[in-house]
Amino acid sequence: MVYRPTVRYSDVFKEYVDSVFNSTRLDRNQIIRLALFIAAHSEEYKSILEKYKITDVSPPHPNWGLTDHGYWKDQNYIKIDTNKPTFVLEEDGIKIVIG
């Protein structure tokens, strides 16, 4: 399943995303996913979240590491657990992961 949110943001963010888009080979969705991917590991992001966190609720930890680039590069990325045998079948453009 792929989550497809509608993102509303200020023109200043739009201009930045457009500038990044025009200066890289990334599409706009990859740019937004990359920002979220990095934010979860950013001390600045964590510091801001801390100011708004609900009492007695632990902040979440990302389920990805900084080397898991597939999460922001490919919206349909499925991380393969290297600790167990996994088989990937591709049929009619659909990837099926078994394992």
| pLDDT tens digits in sequence order for the chain, 99 residues long | 678 888 899 999 999 999 999 999 999 999 999 999 999 999 999 999 999 999 999 888 998 999 999 999 998 888 876 666 556 666 666 666 665
pTM: 0.74
Q: Are 2 and 75 in contact (CB under 8 A)?
A: yes
Q: HEC string of 38-80?
A: HHCCCHHHHHHHHHHCCCCCCCCCCCCCCCCCHHHHCCCCCCC
Ranges of each domain in the chain:
11-98
